[in-house]
Amino acid sequence: MTQENKPAAGRTRIALITGGSRGLGRNMAIAIAKKGIDTVITYNTNRTAATEVVNEISSMGRKAVAFQLNTSDARSFEVFVKDFSAWLQENTGNASFDFLVNNAGTALYSLIKEVKEEQVDQIFNIHFKAVVLLTQQLLPFINEGGGIINISSGLTRITNPGSAVYASMKAAVETFTRYLAKETGDRKIRANVVAPGAIETDFGNGRVRDNPDINKHIAGITALGRVGLPDDIGGVVAFLCTEEAYWINGQRIEVSGGQAL
C-alpha cells in the first residue's frame, strides 16, 4: 500500500462485522482481531454470545464492542449508524473506521414451487437490501484506503435444489460488490466478496454440521475431502483487511476446498 493510503501513524484500524456473535461471523471477528485490528460486532438477539466474543477479543489485548442490530429492518439502520459513529467519536476521537464485513444472514431451504412470499421478502431484506442500504449509510465513515467484504456463498456457482432464493440474493450481492468496487475506487476503498462453501456451523440449524448424510456427501464432492470449518473462512476475511491484500479489488473469492469442481 502506498504511503498516502496507509493509516495515520499510531492509529489503530477498526473493523465492523455484522452478525459477529456466532458461526462464521464470530470466527471472522477473532481472526481480524489477531491482525491487530479493533473490532465492532453486531448481534440480533443473542447478547450473551456477543458478550463472549467481545470478552475473548478483549483478552487478546484488542478493543471490542457489540451493538444490537436487526438487519432485516432497514428502518433501524439510521439509529445504529448514529450510535456506532458516536461510539467511535467518543472512544477514538474520530467517527470513522476502516473495514466493513457484511456477514449477517439466515438460511432458507425451500424448493421454488413451495417457497412463500414472506420467505422471499425476508431473505431479500437480510441478504441484499440490508447489504445495500447499510453499506450506503456507512460509506461516509469508512476511511480512505479501507475495505468492504461482502459474504456470499458457494451456492451462486453450485446449484442445489432448495437454495434458489438464498443463492439468488447472494448472486445479487456479488454483482453489487463489483459496482461498489468501481464507485468507491476514487477513495481507494476496495470491495470484495468471500464465498464460503459448505461449512460446519449452526447456520440453518446445523444442517451441514449435524446431518451425517449431508456432511458425507459434501466431503465426497470436495477436492480436499472434507466439509469446511469456520477457521477456513475467518483467516481469509482477515487477510482482506491487511495491507498485503490492498491490490485485491472487485473479486469473488470462493473458499470451499474445491467443492463440486
Indicate if 170 belongs to the active site. Answer: yes
CA dihedral sign of residues 136, 140, 144, 149? negative
Task: Exactly one of 21, 43, 72, 166 is catalytic; name it.
Answer: 166
Indicate if 110 belongs to the active site. Answer: no
Q: What is the spatial distance between Cα 165 and Cα 25, in angstroms, rounded to a whole number?
A: 22
Task: Exactly one of 72, 85, 152, 163 is catalytic; name it.
Answer: 152
What length is written for the chain?
A: 261
Indicate if 152 belongs to the active site. Answer: yes
Task: Exactly one of 21, 43, 163, 170 is catalytic; name it.
Answer: 170
CA dihedral sign of residues 135, 136, 139, 141? negative
Task: Exactly one of 153, 182, 188, 216 is catalytic; name it.
Answer: 153
Q: What is the spatial distance between Cα 97 and Cα 25, in angstroms, rounded to a whole number?
A: 18
How far is CA 164 from its chain centroid? Answer: 20
Q: What is the spatial distance between Cα 134 and Cα 16, in angstroms, rounded to a whole number?
A: 12
Indicate if 153 belongs to the active site. Answer: yes
Catalytic residues: 152-153, 166, 170
